[in-house]
Amino acid sequence: MDSRKLIKSFIYASHGILHVIKSEQNFRFHLLAAIVVIIASITTGLSKTEWIIIIMLICGMFMVELLNASIERVVDLASPDYHELALQAKDLAAGACLIYAICSAVVGLIIFIPKWWGILF
C-alpha cells in the first residue's frame, strides 16, 4: 500500500471538512448540537450501546451534511442558471438531511427522556 497516497487522501478529506465548517452555517449548527449532545450524554450517563447509537447518529448527520454540500457544489457547477432538475437535486439532498435530523432527534429523545424522567421523579 502506498502510504504517501493514503496520507494525501486524509489531507484532502480534512480540507473538505474544514471548508464545510467555514462555509456552511448548517454544518456549524450541527457541530454545536453535537457538542451539546455529547455533554448531555456524559452528564446523563449512557450505556455502551446508547453511546454507539449517539456517536453513529452524530457522525451520520455530519456525513449527510457533507454529501449535501457536495451535491450543492456539483449542481452549481453543472447548472449555474435555473433548471428544474437542479432544483430537484438540491431539494432532494436537503430532504435527506431533514429526514436524518428528524430521525436523530426522535432517537435521541427515546434515549434521554426516560433517563431524565428517572432523575427528576
Ligand X SMILES: Nc1ncnc2c1ncn2[C@@H]1O[C@H](COP(=O)(O)OP(=O)(O)OP(=O)(O)O)[C@@H](O)[C@H]1O
Q: How far apart are CA 57 and CA 65, in angstroms?
A: 12
By CB neighbour count within 10 A (0-12 exposed, 13-18 middle, 19+ buried), where does 99 fall? exposed
Please indicate whether residue 65 is annotated as part of the active site.
Answer: yes
Q: Which of 87, 34, 40, 41 is nearest to 64 (CA)?
A: 34
The least distance separating ligand X from the CB of residue 60, rounded to whole angstroms, comes to: 19
By CB neighbour count within 10 A (0-12 exposed, 13-18 middle, 19+ buried), where does 68 fall? buried
The least distance separating ligand X from the CB of residue 49, rounded to whole angstroms, comes to: 34
Q: Is 15 in the site for ligand X (CB under 6 A)?
A: no
Binding mask 31-70 for ligand X (x = CB under 6 A): ----------------------------------------
Q: Is 83 in the site for ligand X (CB under 6 A)?
A: yes
Catalytic residue among 50, 65, 72, 84: 65
Which residues contact ligand X (rule: CB under 6 A)?
24, 26, 72, 79, 82-83, 86-87, 90-91, 94
Catalytic residues: 65
